Amino acid sequence: MGNRGKAEERVRARELRAESWTLQEIADELGVAKGSVSVWVRDVDFEPRPRNRGHPAGPKHPMRLKKEAEIERCRLEAEEWATSLTDRDLEMFVLGLYAGEGSKTSGEVSMANTNPAYLRLFVRWIRSRFDIDEARMRGVLYLHEGLDLDAATAYWSDVLDIPADQFTKPYRAVPDSSIRSRKHVNGCVTARYASTLIHRRVMAMIEAISCRFADPG
């Protein structure tokens, strides 16, 4: 596991400790050694959970309350800031998203994600920015075996406004607990539109933005 993964685990361990989780509970949750957890959370105030509490969650730790208040404040600030965003801002956001998450293979514009908001914005922008043939829009599902394929297809069909019969053969992954224990119930979907010209235009726009701001002179 890389340093990034360990850093994320440390942050999560500290959050759970602030919620009065025991060292062993945190170790079991994150799949790490109890000794590692002990080092990561040694400076976090710990208040043992009282027994026989009326509410399963019990009273919240002050550190948890502070965190929730800060998150809510940031959310409200962001909502206020977003009220002035324009369609031009949306375009720049989607291009940045595509630069990181989109396919760079020539011949199609496509992006895979589990986040419905990102994919909804992506297909909305493609539809508004380019003259496309809706019959050529495609969805491709990556879904673990044992999960409901019909329900997942219906979900993404509604999110992307792509008819279910325009979803191609899905990839059914065999669960592997050594890699990932959590499974997205609706899977990961790729929104795809085959067009060499549109792909070239999108990549040219991304390149132009990069060059413009990398060399502002």
User: Which CATH number covers residue 105?
Assistant: 3.30.1330
Residues 93 and 78 in one domain: no
Closest to 48 measured CA to CA, from 27, 21, 66: 21
Per-chain mean pLDDT for the chain: 87
Question: How many Å apart are CA 140 and CA 169, to the nearest integer?
Answer: 7
> For strand 188-194 and strand 137-144, is the pairing parallel, antiparallel, or unpaired?
antiparallel
The more confident residue out of 6 and 201 is: 201
Indicate if 93 and 39 belong to the same structural domain. no
**Both structure tokens of 2:** 């890389």
For residues 54 and 154, membership in a common domain is answered with no
Angle between helix 87-101 and 196-214 (nearest 10): 100
Q: Tell me what the mean pLDDT of segment 27-40 comes to.
A: 88
pLDDT tens-digit series, residues 135-144: 999 999 999 8
Same domain, 109 and 210: yes
Gap between the Cα atoms of 193 and 172, Å rounded: 22
Are 105 and 179 members of one domain? yes
Decide which of 22, 53, 82 is a domain's last residue. Answer: 82
- 117 CA to centre of own chain: 9
Residue 98 and residue 68 share a domain: no
User: Could you give the percent of the chain with pLDDT greater than 90?
Assistant: 55
Please name the helix (run of DSSP H) or strand (run of DSSP E) that holds residue 187, with its range, or none: none
Among 54, 82, 110, where does a domain finish? 82
Is the domain of 104 the same as that of 167? yes
Please tell me whether residues 153 and 113 are part of one structural domain. yes
Give me the phi and psi of 107, to 5 degrees please. 115, -15
47, 117: one domain:
no
Q: Report the distance separating Cα 176 and Cα 180, nearest Å.
A: 6
Residues 127 and 162 grouped into a single domain: yes
pLDDT, tens digit, 9 for 90 and up, residues 153-207 = 999 999 999 999 999 999 988 766 555 555 678 999 999 999 999 999 999 999 9
Domain membership of residue 16 as a residue range: 3-82
SS3 202: helix
Which of 57, 82, 107 is the C-terminal boundary of a domain?
82
Beta partners for 193? 109, 137
Q: Round to whole Å and give the CA distance between 98 and 95.
A: 5
Number of residues that this document lists for the chain: 217
Counting the structural domains of the chain, the total is 2
